[in-house]
DNA sequence: AACTTATTGTCTCATTTTGTGACAATAATA
DNA sequence: TATTATTGTCACAAAATGAGACAATAAGTT
C-alpha cells in the first residue's frame, strides 16, 4: 500500500469535498394533504435533533442548481417550484457543537477532529411547493427520517430553522396572489373547495366562500371540467384545472 | 530585516484578510432628491466600469453588520433602513477577468498573481433608503467616484449589477404599502405632494392626487403641521411628519 | 389695487369591489 | 320519500376607488 492509497474516509476540507465553504442552503418544502399545510422535516440519527433539509453548493454549480439537485435527491421530482426567500447570516446560527454532535453520532467525524462543516455558514433559504401525493421523501445519510409535519405542529428545530420556516411562510403569504400558488400544491384537477382550503391553510384563517369563488373565477385562470361525484350526500362539485 | 518582517502589501487569501471567502454583499442605496429616485453608483479608477457599492463579511461579523459597516463607511450614516432582497449565485456572475482588471488598474494585484477576490462569489443583495440631503457619498480605495444616478438613467453596470437594481426596485415596489417607505426617503417634514412624488418615482407611474391623499391620511400615520409658504404663486400646502 | 396663475384642500357622485346572506339544486343516506 | 350537507348562483348592502368639480389662496403681473 503506497502512501498515496492511504486516504481519509471523508473529506475534511471544503476543497476536498468539492463544495464552496461557508455557504449552505436550507429548504422549506411545502405540501398540502387536502386539509393542512405541511413541511418536510429531517430527524438525525441517534439525536433528538430536527432540521430542515439542506445542502451545499458545488464549486462549479449555481446556487439554484444546487438547491434543485438536493430537492431532486430527496423527492425524486424534476421541475420543482422554488422561491428563494431570505439569506441567514447571523453569528448566533454558528453553533459548531450541534453539528459536531450530529456528525459524531453518525460516525462521520472523530472526536476533536477538524472539519469544514464545523465552520461558520451563511445559509440561503428556499421554499418549494410540491404535490403532496407524488412524493415519497427520502432521508439522507445523516438522518433516519424525513417526514411531513403540519406547519402548526412542528417539533423543536435546530439552530434558526424555526425562524426560517416562519419567514418562508410569511413570504408564501405575501406571494399568494402574485404567483399562482395553488397550481403547485394541488393535483391536476381539483374542486373549488380544495383550492379554498389551500388558501386557508396558507393564510391561517377562514375565507368567505362566495367572495373567494368570485375572485378566483374572475381571474380567468381556471378551466372547468365535469362534475366530481364524491359519494357524499350533497350536490357534486365541479372539477377545475389551471389554464397553462 | 527578519523573514517575519517580509510581508506582502496585500492579503492574497481570504484568511489573511479576515473575510469569509466566496461571500459578498452588494447594496442598492436609494435616495430621493425631490423629483426622481436615485441610486449610488461607483466608478473604478482607470476603467470604465460602474458598479454597486459592495463589500465582504468578516469572519466574526454577522451579514447584517457587515452591510451596515460598509454603508456607514460610505455615507457616514448610523441607523440606515436596510432590507435584504435577494441572493445572487449564478455561475455567469463569476468573471474573474473583470475583477482582475479593476485590481490591476489600482495596483492591488500583480499580473498573474492569485488572489481570493478572483474566486467565485455569491452575493447577497440589500437595498437601503436614505435621506438624500444628509449624505456626501465617499468613494473607496478602488473607486474614484461615488455618485447619484437616476434609476432610469444608469450607466452600464458590471456583472449582474443591473439585474440587482431591477430586483431591488421590484422589491421596493412590492413593499411600498407594507413598510412605510416614505419615512426613510423624505426629510422630517414634507408636503403631501412630495410624498406623492416618492410614490410616483418608485412605482414609475402617475397617481391620482385625491385618491392618494384620502388613502394616506386614512392610515393615521401622519401628523399635520403648520403651512409651508413656498414663495410660489398659489395656495400654500400643509407640512406633515410621520407619527413615531 | 385688481387681475392672473398654479396648486391645494375638500366635496360630490359614479363606478367597482367586497361583505353578507339567501335560496334552489342535488347526490347520497335514512 | 324525506333528510342532510354542500354547491352554484343570485341579490343587495357596504366599502373602496375613480374621476371630476370648485372654492381658497399665495404670489406674480398689470
The string of pLDDT tens digits covering residues B170-198 is: 999 999 998 889 899 999 999 999 999 99
At A72-113, the pLDDT tens digits run: 988 889 899 999 999 999 999 999 999 998 888 888 888 888
Please say if the pLDDT value at position B5 is more than 60: no
Chain C bases under 7 Å from protein CB? 4-12, 18-22, 25-29
CB contact under 8 Å between B57 and A122, yes or no, is yes
Which chain A residues have a beta carbon less than 8 Å from that of B84? 86-87
- Residues A132 and A184: their CA atoms lie apart, in Å, by 10
Task: Tell me how many degrees the CA angle B121-B125-B128 measures, rounded to the nearest 5.
Answer: 145
Dihedrals phi, psi of A35, to nearest 5 degrees: -130, -55
Over the stretch A24-52, which tens digit does the pLDDT of each residue have?
A: 999 999 999 988 899 999 998 878 899 99
Q: Which of B21, B86, B87 sits opposite A22 (nearest CB)?
A: B21
Phi, psi of B225 (to 5 degrees): -115, -165
DSSP E strands, chain A: 19-32, 37-44, 50-51, 54-58, 81-88, 122-130, 143-150, 190-191, 222-227, 238-242
Which cell numbers hold the place of B98? 473583470
Rg (CA), chain A: 21
pLDDT given for residue B2 in this prediction:
40
Distance from C-alpha of A120 to C-alpha of A234, rounded to nearest angstrom:
58
pLDDT of residue A5: 39
- In the prediction, which pLDDT does A134 show? 85
A2 pLDDT exceeds 50? no
b/e map of A165-186 (b: 16 or more CB within 10 Å)? bebbbebbeebeeeeebbbbbb
pLDDT digits (tens, 9 = 90+) for B41-68: 999 887 888 999 999 999 999 999 999 9
Our CA angle for B172, B173, B176, nearest 5°, is 80
Which residues of chain A lie closer than 8 angstroms to B89, CB-CB?
57, 62-64, 66, 124
CA angle B171, B173, B176 (to 5 degrees): 110
Confidence (pTM): 0.91
Euclidean distance between CA atoms B24 and B121, whole angstroms: 6
Q: Given pLDDT bands bounded at 50, 70 and 90, which one contains residue A232?
A: confident
Give the dihedral sign, CA A47/A48/A49/A51.
positive
Q: Whole-number Å distance, CA A234 to C1' C30?
A: 14
Count of all residues that appear for chain A in the document: 244
For residue A181, is pLDDT > 60?
yes
Q: Which of A3-12, A130-139, A233-242, B198-207 has the lowest mean pLDDT?
A: A3-12
* pLDDT of B143: 78
* pLDDT score for A6: 42
pLDDT band at B10 (very low <50, low <70, confident <90, very high): low
d(CA B4, CA B43) in angstroms, rounded, equals 37
Rounded Cα distance, A219 and A241, in Å: 13
The reply to whether B227 Cβ lies less than 7 angstroms from strand D is yes
Helix (H) or strand (E) holding A42: strand A37-44
pLDDT at B4 over 50: no
Q: What pLDDT, on the 0 to 100 scale, is given for residue B9?
A: 54
Calculate mean pLDDT across residues B110-132: 91
In this predicted structure, the answer to whether residue B7 has a pLDDT above a threshold of 50 is no
Average pLDDT, chain B: 90
pLDDT computed for residue A135 by the predictor: 86
Percentage of the residues of chain B whose pLDDT score is greater than 70: 95
Residue B233 and residue A201: Cα distance in Å, rounded?
A: 57
Decide: residue A208, CB within 10 A, 0-12 exposed, 13-18 middle, 19+ buried.
exposed
Per-residue pLDDT reduced to its tens digit, B97-113: 999 988 888 888 888 88
Give the pLDDT score at A138. Answer: 81
Q: How distant is the Cα of A86 from the closest Cα of chain B, in angstroms?
A: 7
Lowest mean pLDDT among A199-213, B40-54, B148-162: B40-54
Which residue does chain A place closest to B60, by CA atoms?
A: A91
Interface test with B, best of A21, A90, A93, A122 (most B CBs within 10 A): A122
Find the residue closest to C27 using CA and C1' atoms: A234
CA distance linking residue B168 with residue A168, whole number of Å: 19
Q: Which residue has the higher pLDDT, A238 or A179?
A: A238
CB-CB contact of B30 with B77 (8 Å): no
Q: From CA A131, how far away is CA A185, in angstroms rounded? A: 5
Say which nucleotide is closest to residue A239, CA to C1' distance.
Answer: D7
Amino acid at each position: 500500500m503506497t502512501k498515496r492509497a492511504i486516504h481519509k474516509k471523508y473529506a475534511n476540507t471544503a476543497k476536498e469535498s468539492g463544495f464552496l465553504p461557508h455557504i449552505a442552503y436550507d429548504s422549506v418544502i411545502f405540501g398540502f394533504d387536502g386539509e393542512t399545510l405541511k413541511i418536510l422535516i429531517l430527524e438525525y440519527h441517534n439525536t433528538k435533533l430536527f432540521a430542515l433539509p439542506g445542502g451545499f453548493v458545488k464549486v462549479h454549480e449555481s446556487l439554484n442548481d444546487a438547491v434543485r439537485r438536493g430537492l431532486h435527491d430527496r423527492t425524486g421530482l424534476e421541475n420543482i417550484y422554488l422561491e428563494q426567500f431570505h439569506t441567514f447570516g447571523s453569528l448566533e446560527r454558528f453553533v459548531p457543537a450541534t453539528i459536531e454532535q450530529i456528525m459524531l453520532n453518525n460516525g462521520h467525524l472523530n472526536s476533536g477532529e477538524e472539519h469544514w462543516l464545523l465552520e461558520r455558514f451563511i445559509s440561503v433559504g428556499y421554499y418549494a411547493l410540491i404535490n403532496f401525493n407524488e412524493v415519497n421523501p427520502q432521508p439522507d445519510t445523516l438522518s433516519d427520517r424525513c417526514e411531513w409535519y403540519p406547519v402548526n405542529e412542528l417539533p423543536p428545530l435546530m439552530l434558526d430553522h424555526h425562524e426560517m420556516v416562519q419567514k418562508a411562510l410569511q413570504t408564501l403569504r405575501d406571494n399568494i396572489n402574485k404567483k399562482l400558488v395553488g397550481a403547485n400544491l394541488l393535483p391536476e384537477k381539483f374542486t373549488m373547495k380544495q383550492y379554498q382550503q389551500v388558501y386557508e391553510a396558507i393564510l391561517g384563517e377562514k375565507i368567505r366562500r362566495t367572495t373567494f369563488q368570485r375572485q378566483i373565477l374572475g381571474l380567468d385562470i381556471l378551466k372547468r371540467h365535469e362534475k366530481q361525484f364524491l359519494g357524499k350526500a350533497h350536490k357534486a362539485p365541479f372539477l377545475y384545472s389551471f389554464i397553462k
